[in-house]
Structure 1
């Protein structure tokens, strides 16, 4: 069993009351697991290409296949994965399925990471 954080150093740099407050403010296991799952979903290059493709425009599966030059089965699989994590959403018109990003949060996360990567 790991030792409690307080036992690892002789002095608490922020005081015991601050440690207790930080513990109370710690996000729940359910929330942290959800966030980790979304980051895992964003950790695949093909899924990131799909997100980038959908940044400014709703597209049908066929168009995404054409842009990424991949098979429809592979794209559909990745879109299903992204949909399960509410990263993309779909709209069906007849037999055609259109995809967009689920909401502006996904767009902002993606754009912020692009800026972070490009930052020197």
Structure 2
């Protein structure tokens, strides 16, 4: 990787992304979205979280372009929106689980 000075906007976006990944609930949601899309209700039920909590966290993740949504009638389905971040998350999980 070429070393260069980061502009203020890039530095801020990097920092915000790491902050988002520093939250256990957001990491749980992102790992649940690894392979397929899910609705808020599905995420809530599977992860044992309140729907309002899931919606709040998804809003944050969507603002950072880490998740995206797709409407199907009255249901909104969420999926990850950044393969780079998902690979980084996958590598971090592998790192932590490595003996």
| Partner of residue 73, structure 2 | 94
How many positions carry a matched residue from both structures? Answer: 97
**What TM-score, normalized by structure 1, do the two folds share?**
0.76
Task: Tell me which of the two structures has the higher relative contact order, counting C-alpha pairs closer than 8 angstroms and 6 or more residues apart.
Answer: 2
Larger Rg: 1
Moved over 6 A (4+): none
| Partner of residue 62, structure 1 | 41
Deviations 1:53-73 (A, max 9, x none): 000111111110111111111
For 1:55 and 1:71, the matched residues in 2 are separated by 21
**What TM-score, normalized by structure 2, do the two folds share?**
0.91
- Structure 1's unaligned 5+ residue stretches are 1-21
For 2:84 and 2:75, the matched residues in 1 are separated by 26
Q: CA RMSD in A?
A: 1.2
